[in-house]
């Protein structure tokens, strides 16, 4: 059950996927995240909450960053996400 839950968390939301890939680069504030992803707090805060609940993201004061678990997961799925996005672009 945990595995399918994690796959759903990782891949069912483009915002969540983009957020994880963004946080791979460096810890960010909500304002930085909103600017980088061209979104707003109303859209991104529920995604951050889900990622924190699954142990993928941690928050220190106003900074969000990947947990060790999050770093491992993002490293493993990043190439898959990029390949799927490229395939999607090729067929559209």
CATH of the domain at 21: 1.10.10.10
Question: Total structural domains in the chain?
Answer: 1
Residue 4: per-residue pLDDT: 52
Per-residue pLDDT reduced to its tens digit, 31-85: 999 999 999 999 999 999 999 999 999 999 999 999 999 999 999 888 887 777 7
∠ CA(81), CA(61), CA(29), 5° rounding?
Answer: 45
Residue 40: per-residue pLDDT: 95
51, HSE (Cβ side, Cα atoms, 13 Å): 31
**Structural domain boundaries, residue 58:** 2-90
Nearest CA-CA partner of 63 in 38, 32, 39, 25: 32
Whole-prediction pTM: 0.82
pLDDT bucket at 6, cuts 50 / 70 / 90: confident
């Amino acid at each position: 059950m945990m595995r399918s839950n994690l796959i759903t968390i990782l891949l069912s939301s483009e915002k969540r996927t983009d957020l994880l890939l963004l946080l791979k680069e460096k810890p960010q504030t909500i304002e930085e995240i909103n600017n980088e992803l061209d979104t707003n707090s109303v859209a991104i805060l529920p995604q951050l909450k889900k990622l924190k609940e699954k142990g993928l993201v941690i928050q220190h004061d106003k900074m969000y960053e990947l947990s060790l678990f999050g770093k491992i997961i993002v490293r493993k799925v990043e190439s898959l996400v990029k390949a799927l996005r490229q395939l999607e672009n090729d067929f559209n």
